[in-house]
Structure 1
Amino acid sequence: MGIPDIRLLVTLDFEVYGHVQGLNLTKDTRDRCTKAGITGWVKNSKQGTIVGKMQGPKEEVDKLIAWLSSEGSPGCQIDRCDVRNVGNLSRLDYKDFAIRF
């Protein structure tokens, strides 16, 4: 794995709406982000959504947001995925991708 091009590191917050809790979406999101070299976190919210933060190569983050917007884990019924606080980074703030409680 080479050094990522720092011009292409992005950060964003996301929230996934629909029937998304209790279907392994937080675990699958963590596993996919870890594999893609994305750092940050994900958790279930009290509102029944899944929220989190992603930081990593723009191309990989875009793929994960596309997956969270349309597909998700088996059994999920995703209404939409909102993205907020999008920005560019020179370095990652997190060491890995974690599930928070």
Structure 2
Amino acid sequence: MAAATLLAVDFEVFGLVQGVFFRKYTQDQAIRLGVHGWCMNTYHRTVKGQLEGPREMVKLMKDWLKKTGSPSSRIDKVEFKNEREIQDYTFKNFSIKH
């Protein structure tokens, strides 16, 4: 049986996503789903990052970023770009960049 297809995608979340533990909750959710990658705050008051993982887990993570976020956050929109299949993980886990 072939291994599950791995997807990678870049994301950026717009809204009230800084100062509300958005990155920490994102990291916790990614770890729960087994998704690798990273996220960071931007100077534009957004959170951006990359996701890598099995197609279904990346889909669940994308849905979480669009609809859930951290309890105090307000998500106005999420942009996903450069979605592609990858052969192997680029990242060992999911980290928060500073």
Return the TM-score normalized by structure 2: 0.94
- Residue segments in structure 1 that go unaligned for 5+ positions in a row: none
User: Is 2:13 the counterpart of 1:16?
Assistant: yes
The residue aligned with 1:74 is 71
User: Is 2:47 the counterpart of 1:60?
Assistant: no
- Superposed CA offset, 1:44-64 (max 9, x none): 111000000000011111111
Deviation of 1:5 after TM superposition, in Å, equals 2.1
Which secondary structure does the structure 1 equivalent of 2:12 belong to? strand
- Residue segments in structure 2 that go unaligned for 5+ positions in a row: none
8 Å CA contact 1:70, 1:80 repeated in 2: no
TM superposition outliers: structure 1 runs of 4+ over 6 Å = none
Which secondary structure does the structure 1 equivalent of 2:89 belong to? coil
- Superposed CA offset, 1:40-88 (max 9, x none): 1001111000000000011111111111112211111101110001100
Distance 1:64 1:25 in 2: 13
User: Is 2:96 the counterpart of 1:99?
Assistant: yes
Identity %: 34
Distance 1:60 1:79 in 2: 22
Q: What is the aligned length?
A: 97
CA RMSD of aligned residues (A): 1.2
